[in-house]
Structure 1
Amino acid sequence: MPVTGPSLLTRFYARPILLLVLVTLFWAGNTIAGRLAIGEVSPLAVVFLRWVMVSGLMVVLYGRQVKAEWPMLKQHLPVMALMGTLGFTAFNALFYVAAHSTTALNLGILQGSMPMFVLLGALVLLRAPVRAVQVLGVLVTMAGVALIASQGDLSRLATLEVNPGDGLMILACLFYSVYAVLLRNRPAVSGMVFFTVLSVIAALVSLPVFAIELVQGTEQWPTAKGWLVVGYIALFPSFLSQIFFMRGVELIGPERAGVFINLVPIFSSFLAVALLGEPFHLYHAAALALVLFGIALSERKPRPAMG
């Protein structure tokens, strides 16, 4: 009988760089979707609906496996509850609210700080060694983010004004970084089962979060266009991105995977040009070159010791 090699899906799932690039592309699409959602659905309604949709799908598909692996899962439930709350519900809620009260310039810079939080978190929480070249890679990628966020004029960074939205975004980045670091030591269950439980936790936590809008009377259920936006957010940034990111962290660790987050503002700019008709400038190309170079530095493997 002929010997067959690994399937296309297996090979795809073994390529962390490809997976993480797709993650950041989908997250960049979330930025565009967030802009399109304005006036079509309220921010916390998006958070609630996305996780209800995703968790419902995951329970239908993997509910039996969750039940079978529950003895292992329940031992890690407190940490998983923290991860689902911080990484899924809190990050998204703060992101959508912050986007309504701060500038795109500020958001771009603050999102670029996330790899630094991941590196610091891996060092503090996991005692993970961090090489100088990884730090350099993060700094280079952050330079690219700063370049694109300032629209090619770094002197604009000196005029930044701190507002509540900036504080919310910093907190959101910190929350997701804690989630990314904790992913390294997730329970020894399948990724789909793990994600199912996290999505259910996110959906449950998002209910009282959405209640804030209900109490304030600021909720807006989706229009027809709003449902399309929520559908995209549920499938790509919420479902596929989280699965791919977990796999990427599993393959290369949180500190290396975190560097790829700097691609989000780059892809966001390209999508804005293609979908929103915004102009493309030379600083976009320069920023992309810096980000890719920074990722290459971070991915550089140490030389084996001589002797």
Structure 2
Amino acid sequence: MSASPSVAARGAFLRGLYRRPALLLVVTTLIWGSNAVAARLAVGHVSPMMLTTARWGIACIALWFVARQQVAQQLPALRGRWMYLALMGVSGFTAFNALFYAAAHHTTAVNLSLIQGMIPVLVLLGGVMFFGLRVTALQMVGVVITLAGVAVVASRGSWAALAALDINLGDAWILLASLLYAGYTLGLRSRPAVPPLVFFSAVAGVAALASLPLLAAEVLSGRFFWPTPWGWAILVYIGLLPSFVSQILFIRAVEMIGPARASVFLNLNPVFGPALAVGVLGEPVGWYHAVALAMVLGGIWIAERLGTRRPV
């Protein structure tokens, strides 16, 4: 029996999507932007460390179905780099997500997305500090503008709050989380010579294991509670979409056009996140959010595009 027209149409759409890297990357960043919204929706329905543990547990189950043979073939190469993989999984996935989901209890999805948008310039600064990367004056201008935009968000547009370092706890945690993820990104320079899906599977496995002590601490502190039905739905969404599907799409896009061109699309994160926060959650947007968004995106554009152009 042939497939129904609707099933055939969906199959054709997915095959077409998988051949269009730009569309893959737009869908990827849209899913990543939705993570901030999901984090806010989870408040009161699932505890932060449960969310972190379940995210990577669900992702690992999905990866077992699609990558277990590749991982088994590459085990010798992975064993030789176990300390590196442990550091990457703990810092880039476990700690980042634990701080991210804890921050969602204290700040808005708009703030989560905008502050997270500074990761590209943190990576640039890290390259200068630790790898001797040479940057132009225009790139540094872009870095300063982006960081100033983040300061506008964190201070809620108040110079007095900034001068007094009166920063929301959630904003401080997402700042720390962004620093950790920037470090993870810089660490990718030294990743083992294995297929991207194998590397991601190994780091996700580390993240799932490393999150268990955090979950235990949450239980012992009395802050754990069983997810509500809505909480379970959020867990499944985060475990499958931001943690698994988006990574597969991103890996496929990088294979097609390379990491440099693909990384440009990551600048859509601070656009999609706030837009979804307003549209789905109805979060209010102040004038300082608009100013900060312009500064963050403008600074990234100056640093990544104008700053790297050579004079003719």
- TM-score using structure 2 length: 0.77
Asked if the contact 1:28–1:267 (Cα under 8 Å) also holds between the matched residues in 2, the reply is: yes
Secondary structure of 1:53's match? helix
Pair 100,280 (structure 1): closer, same or farther in 2 beyond 3 Å = closer
Displacement, 1:183? Answer: 1.3
Unpaired stretches in structure 2, ≥5 consecutive residues: 1-14
Q: CA deviation at 1:149?
A: 5.5
2:279 aligns with 274
> CA 1:172–1:31 in 2, change beyond 3 Å: closer, same or farther?
same
Q: Which residue identity lines up with residue 195 of structure 1 in the other structure?
A: F
Q: Residue 190 in 1 paired to residue 198 in 2?
A: no
Report what 1:86 is aligned to. 91
Give the counterpart letter for 2:20 in structure 1. Answer: F
Confirm or deny: 8 A CA contact 1:29 1:268 kept in the other structure. yes
| Structure 1 counterpart SS, 2:92 | helix
- Counterpart of 2:237, as a letter, is Y
Q: Which amino acid aligns with 2:188?
A: L
Cα–Cα, structure 1 residues 111 and 159, in superposed 2: closer, same or farther, change >3 Å? farther
Q: Which of 157, 166, 174 does residue 161 from structure 1 map onto?
A: 166
Deviations 1:197-237 (A, max 9, x none): 11111111111111111222321222111111112211232
Q: TM-score, normalised by structure 1?
A: 0.78
CA distance in 2, matches of 1:163, 1:152: 13
> After superposition, what is the alpha-carbon deviation per residue over 1:108-161, rounded to whole angstroms, capped at 9, x for unaligned?
675455344322322233333333333322333344444556666666544542
Identity of aligned pairs, percent? 45
Structure 1: 4+ residue segments shifted above 6 A: 103-106
The one of 62, 70, 79 aligned to 1:74: 79
- Counterpart CA distance in 1 for 2:279 and 2:112 is 20
Cα distance in structure 1, aligned partners of 2:198 and 2:27: 21
> How far did 1:181 drift?
0.6
Q: Secondary structure at the match of 1:67?
A: helix
Quote the residue 1:206 is aligned against.
Answer: 211
Structure 1 residues not aligned, in runs of 5+: 1-6
Which residue of 1 is the match for residue 178 of structure 2?
A: 173
Which one of the candidate residues 35, 50, 56 is aligned to 2:55?
50
Measured at CA, do residues 278 and 292 of structure 1 come closer, stay the same or move farther in structure 2, by a change above 3 Å? Answer: same
Aligned to 1:252: 260
RMSD, matched Cα: 3.5
Structure 1's 127 and 243: CA in aligned 2 closer, same or farther, altered over 3 A?
farther
Classify the secondary structure of the residue corresponding to 1:203. helix
Aligned-partner SS, 2:81: helix
Partner of 1:3: none
Q: Which residue does 2:224 correspond to in 1?
A: 219
Residue 33 of structure 1: how far off its partner (Å): 1.0
- The alpha-carbon deviation at position 170 of structure 1 amounts to 3.6
Judge conservation of contact 1:136–1:298 (CA < 8 Å) in 2.
Answer: yes
User: 2:142 touches 2:300 (CA, 8 Å); kept in 1?
Assistant: yes
In 1, distance between residues paired with 2:176 and 2:286?
31
Distance 1:239 1:127, change over 3 A: farther
Q: Distance in 2 between matches of 1:138 and 1:222?
A: 40
Match of 2:144 in 1: 139
Alpha-carbon distance, 1:88 to partner = 0.5
* Structure 2 match to 1:4: none
**Equivalenced residues, count:** 294
Q: CA deviation at 1:80?
A: 1.3
